Amino acid sequence: MSVAPLQALSVDELRRRSSTKWRRYPDDVLPLFVAETDYPLAPAITARLTEAVGLGDTGYTPPDPGIRDAFAQFALRRFGWEVDPARVRSTCDVMMGVVEILRVVTNPGDRVIVTPPVYPPFYDCVREVGAEPETVPLVDTGDAWELDLLGIEAALAGGARAVLLCNPHNPTGTAHARESLAALADLAAGFGAAVISDEIHAPLVQPGASFTPFLAASETAAKVGFAVTSASKAFNLAGLKCAVMVTAGDETAKIVADMPDEVEWRTGLFGALAGVAALSPESDAYLDSLLAALDENRRLLADLLAEHLPAARYRIPDAGYLAWVDLTDLGWGDNPAVKILREAKVALHFGPYFGAEGAGHVRINFACAPEVLREAITRIGALAAS
């Protein structure tokens, strides 16, 4: 049975929001840059937060706000992944969880492998702990992006101590294959390295694609890996601050369990309450409807680019609502989003921020109303035709 796509809010309604997406630029700019969605909250989240506000329930986050069990049940229900709730610990957000794990598994001066083009904060998080990012770019096969396992092996052989993985990948939307993840785990184990997998986009993998949690890729992956994730990307909860760190091996579980209490205290109470509501079965229909809307938009974007920007190169993503688009052939320089913002009044994410491999590229957030996406690409197309 087909699922009705979720309807986005109107631009007039969205401009009443106070978040970055709607306050960063003037009202004449269409914002398709930062990873916020334009949809209403899931009803279960609205109900839970409304109840909390009515009660004045704004105190400290309790030791067990329910997020561990909610995540384990969600993982089993949506991914077929068995997670031990005792090996789930919450913190403020995904990047904070990544930093705290890196603090333990690396030493200052160590190198950490990142796979560009990749989410810009990865570089900052590695440097925050005194380590240095070592880039091993994804391989473009012509049909898909894949991990460069030979390049990762060479970096590990050269002394890199950890791999910071994005699964599904931001900005390409790639859901990495189980075989590739298992091979990565074998490499990490062979060189005594850790793998930290950011899986925040996992709930947004389209039904036609296959998501493999890194910790479930193999027995070896369960031993060498850490997963850090959140309901915030799929359910638009970034401002509420709640993520989970997940482990499956005895040694990795001890590393997370031994972290200072303050790491967990940073979890926002509203983030935990909203996260539990988001991950509950009550919100599954909302998530399915969101996926249907994103499926329509990822395909609409392909049609719009073919019509208005035929020189653009775009591969429909497996997951998420972020499109990685190569505009090199338009001749708009290494950072075409600057010209697009200035002359077309459309805000896209700057490609070079994702690494040197982002030159000539933009990232487009298509979690919006179809008419907003259509207007944005029409504006950019008019700029190309001028």
Are both 267 and 307 inside the same structural domain? no
Residue 229, pLDDT > 80, answer yes
Residues 208 and 187 in one domain: yes
Per-residue buried b or exposed e for 20-53, using 16+ beta carbons within 10 Å of the residue's own CB: ebbeebeeeebbbbebbbbbebbebbeebbeeee
202 in the same domain as 116: yes
* pTM score, whole prediction: 0.97
Q: What is the band of 1 on the pLDDT scale with cuts at 50, 70, 90?
A: low
Q: What is the pLDDT of residues 244-288, one digit of tens each?
A: 999 999 999 999 999 999 999 999 999 999 999 999 999 999 999
User: Does one domain contain both 26 and 160?
Assistant: no
Mean pLDDT of 195-220: 97
Q: Examine the pLDDT at 121 and tell me if it is beyond 80.
A: yes
- Judge contact between 311 and 384, C-beta under 8 A: yes
Task: Report the percentage of the chain scoring pLDDT > 70.
Answer: 100
Q: pLDDT digit string (tens) for 343-361? A: 999 999 999 999 999 999 9
Give the pLDDT band (50/70/90) at residue 309. Answer: very high
Q: Is residue 122 part of a domain?
A: yes
282 burial type by CB count under 10 A (0-12 exposed, 13-18 middle, 19+ buried): middle
Domain limits for position 269 = 46-282
d(CA 120, CA 171) in angstroms, rounded, equals 10
Q: What is the mean pLDDT of the chain?
A: 98
Q: How far apart are CA 344 and CA 341, in angstroms?
A: 6
Confidence of residue 2 (pLDDT cuts 50, 70, 90): confident
Domain of residue 312, CATH code: 3.90.1150.10
DSSP assignment letter at 41: P
N- to C-terminal Cα distance for the chain? Answer: 45
Q: Stretch 67-73: mean pLDDT, rounded?
A: 98
Together in a domain, 278 and 172: yes
Residues 278, 289, single domain; the answer is no
pLDDT tier at 139, thresholds 50, 70, 90:
very high
Q: Domain check: are 58 and 192 in the same one?
A: yes
Of 257, 282, 307, the position where a domain reaches its end is: 282
DSSP 173-201: -----HHHHHHHHHHHHHTT-EEEEE-TT
Q: Per-residue pLDDT for 363 more than 80?
A: yes
Structural domain ending residue among the three candidates 282, 305, 337? 282
152 and 200 belong to one structural domain:
yes
CB 9 within 8 A of CB 40: yes
130 occurs within a structural domain: yes
Counting the structural domains of the chain, the total is 2
Per-residue pLDDT, averaged over 66-83, amounts to: 98
Last residue of a domain, one of 233, 261, 282: 282
For residue 179, name the pLDDT band (cuts at 50, 70, 90). very high
pLDDT digits (tens, 9 = 90+) for 156-176: 999 999 999 999 999 999 999
